[in-house]
Each structure stands twice: as C-alpha cells, then as structure tokens.
Copies of this chain bind each other. A is one copy, B any other.
Amino acid sequence: MALKSFIEVHPDSHFPIQNLPYGVFKPQPGASPRPGVAIGDYVLDLSQIASAGLFNGPLLNNSDCFHQPNLNKFVSLGRPAWKEARATLQKLLSATEPTLRDNATLREKSLVHMSSVQLVLPVQIGDYTDFFSSLHHTKNCGLIFRGPQNPVLENWYHLPVAYHGRASSVVISGTDIVRPRGQAHPAPGSPPYFGPTRKLDFELEMATIVGPGNELGKPVDINNAEDHIFGVVLMNDWSARDIQAWEYVPLGPFLGKNFGTTISPWIVTLEALEPFACEAPKQDPPPLPYLTEKVSKNYDVVLEVHIKPVEHENSSVVTRSNLKHLYWTLTQQLAHHTINGCNLRPGDLLGTGTISGPEQESRGCLLELTWNGQNALSLNGVDRKFLEDGDEVTFTGYCKGDGYTIGFGKCSGKIIPSTP
C-alpha cells in the first residue's frame, strides 16, 4: 500500500509524499526566505518544523540548517542527514501520524498554500558549470555547424565536455528574460553588426545541485560521486545563437549564454528519484578508469518543452525528451569535474547540457528543431524559427510511479524586449 499524506494530493500532482522536493520561499512578500518542502498544493515551512523541535533525529536535532535563507547548509550535511530529514518529514506528513495532522496551530503556522508564496533561488550558487552530455544534441550541433564529415569531435567520446557558466545570472523560474544585445557576424568577410539577438533559443536541461563539496586538490572518486549529489532541477540555458557563433572561438560561449539561466524552484532529491533509476547507455569506447563506475545510472524523467507564442493564449508542446538519453551520467560529470583537483562547493550547479533524444520531436532546442532557422516550427499556426519578444517557454519534468507522480514543477520564462 502506497504511503499517503494527511494532506490530499491529486494523483497527477507533482508533489506527493513520495517526492518532498526542497525549495526556499517567502510566505508573504517582504518576509524572510526560509526552506520548505512541497506537498500537494502546500509548502511546509521547515523553519517552523525545526522551531517546533520536530527534527529530532540525531543529526538534525541541534542544527540551524532550516533557519538559513538558503539550503546550502542543509545540502552540505550529506546523505545521512538528508535521509533523516526525509524520514522525519514522511512520518510527519503521513495520514496515520497525528503530530501535525491534529495540531491546528502548528498546521496554521507551517503549511502555506503554494499560490501565496514567493519562491526564490533554493541555493546560493558559488559556481555554475554546463556540460554537453547528450550524444543526440552533440551530433545535431555538429551536423549543423560542421557538416556530416565529423559531427562529433574525437574528445567527446572520452570525456564529458563542459564549460564554466555564469553564476550571477542564474534566476528562478518566472523571471523575465531580457533579449540580449550583442555582436553578430552573419556574412564572413564583412564587419560584424550590433543589435538585439535574432536567434534567441532555449536549451532543455536538467542540473545537479551539489551536496558536500571537496577540498581543492582532492578529487572525488567516481564511485563516491553520488554522495556529492543532493538533487536535480530543471534548467533552461537560454542561448543567443548568433552572438555565440561569432564569439565562441577559441575560448567557448560567453555573452551568448550568460544573460540568464533559469532553474526550477524545487530540488528533487536522488532519494525520490531512486525508483526511476535506469541503466545508462553503453559507452563505446569504454571510458578511462577514473570515469568507470560500478553502477552506471540514469533516471527516467519525462521532459517537455511548451512554448506560448506572444500571439496566442495557448501553448504548444515542441519537445518531448527524457533524462535517460544522457550519454555521460551525472556521477561521471561530477567525478570528471574534480579529477584535476578542482573543488566543488555545496550548492554548485552542474547543468547536463541540452537533453535531446533520438527522434526529431525530442530535440532539446530550437537550433536543432528548426535546423538553425531553416525550417520554421508551427505552434498552432504561428511560425517560429527562434523566440520572439513576448514568447513564454515552460519546461516540465516528471517520473510516473504507480499511482503517484514525482514531478519537478515548472521552469519558465518570458522574453521581454531589449533595452533601450
């Protein structure tokens, strides 16, 4: 019999008692931010639960981790503390447990309807790294930019290629994205021009939130990498393809990416995802020993991209993909990141790279979907090659369990015109 909460949760809700994703919220505008978990249509205020002395396990009993304005301290504590918190919360919220269920005063203080809260970034992100781990995405980009000779570069099969992104411009779902201006250079030989990007794109990604970090100079072993992963969010790595194409040689993407990156507010833990673990694709050539893991896991997370064009009230699904298509696993990404001694810190964000699947409908960005603007997409009769001002892009993600859904909520953003 499935675990049930005393709060009624619709089977399609993203937030049953099996999920309990962590976020940070303000119960009212102007209130101080505090950690919470999502349960059905409510947010449970963990600072209130902590103040009531209900985190009474040995690891969290005297901790102030839920009296912080972000989750960095909690995620730094590691898996034993996460498991303790999860056990405490699943018990507290279960239909058969009276402690919270029958305490009207505490319920009043600690359960806030989701419609009235303001969600903020769940962690302070020290550094943000973006990988490039979907073979389908990599192949499509290579075909578009370099042709059929050599679409996937030789290094790609040997290491999870990545670059550093910009931490300052990571924003929470719902934040408007200002169309970036910059240089582009469509006609080789003639000088570049300057203006608002004409090739504004989304990138369908997920991202790891790092738990405990590692010391500078001390790599994380591949078979311990999972213990450094707190959980996963949806991520839209907005990209200006014309700016990117002109600037990126030889040092990689910069202004074509760093004007904004949107993440979903709820961090879904690896504990909640564990029932949806699946085998990762076989890697050929086999990776070097430092990337070879005893268990090579992906997760079966259905991903969708919805675009609501400025002309319409309704949105269209343009992409259906899945996290399981990733070639390099989350743990390989993390181990690779530290193999040179690079230190990760709690709350760091590691993007997977655009998650494209094998089919045309599972391509994770407009660059691929429209083949760099050659073929427009039709959104209920409205044509789109790239994003227009006023367009709104929403990602969703979920795992379908037996009678329940482990969901990621939404990751969305609307394009607003360049200033001035």
Interface of A toward B, CB cutoff 8 Å: 126-127, 129, 132, 153-155, 158-159, 161-169, 171, 178, 180-183, 185, 188, 191-192, 194, 213, 216-219, 240, 243, 246-256, 258-260, 285, 288-290, 336-337, 339-345, 348, 419
Contacts and interface: CB of A to CB of B under 8 A. Distances in A.
A171 B216 contact: yes
Contact of A247 (B127, B161, B171, B243): B161
A182 B243 contact: no
Contacts of A243: 340
Nearest to A185: B155
A341 B260 contact: yes
A304 to B, nearest CB: 26
A162 B182 CA distance: 14
A183 B161 contact: no
A126 B166 CA distance: 9
24 contacts: A127-B168, A129-B254, A153-B249, A153-B250, A155-B249, A158-B183, A158-B192, A159-B247, A163-B164, A164-B166, A164-B254, A168-B342, A169-B216, A169-B342, A178-B341, A182-B339, A182-B340, A194-B288, A216-B260, A248-B250, A248-B252, A251-B252, A255-B339, A255-B342
A342 to B, nearest CB: 5
A217 B218 CA distance: 38
Contacts of A217: 178, 259, 419
Contacts of A341: 169, 178, 180-181, 259-260, 419
A182 B340 CA distance: 6
Interchain residue pairs A-B with the least CB separation, the first 7: A252-B252, A180-B340, A178-B217, A164-B164, A163-B251, A255-B340, A251-B252
A116 to B, nearest CB: 26
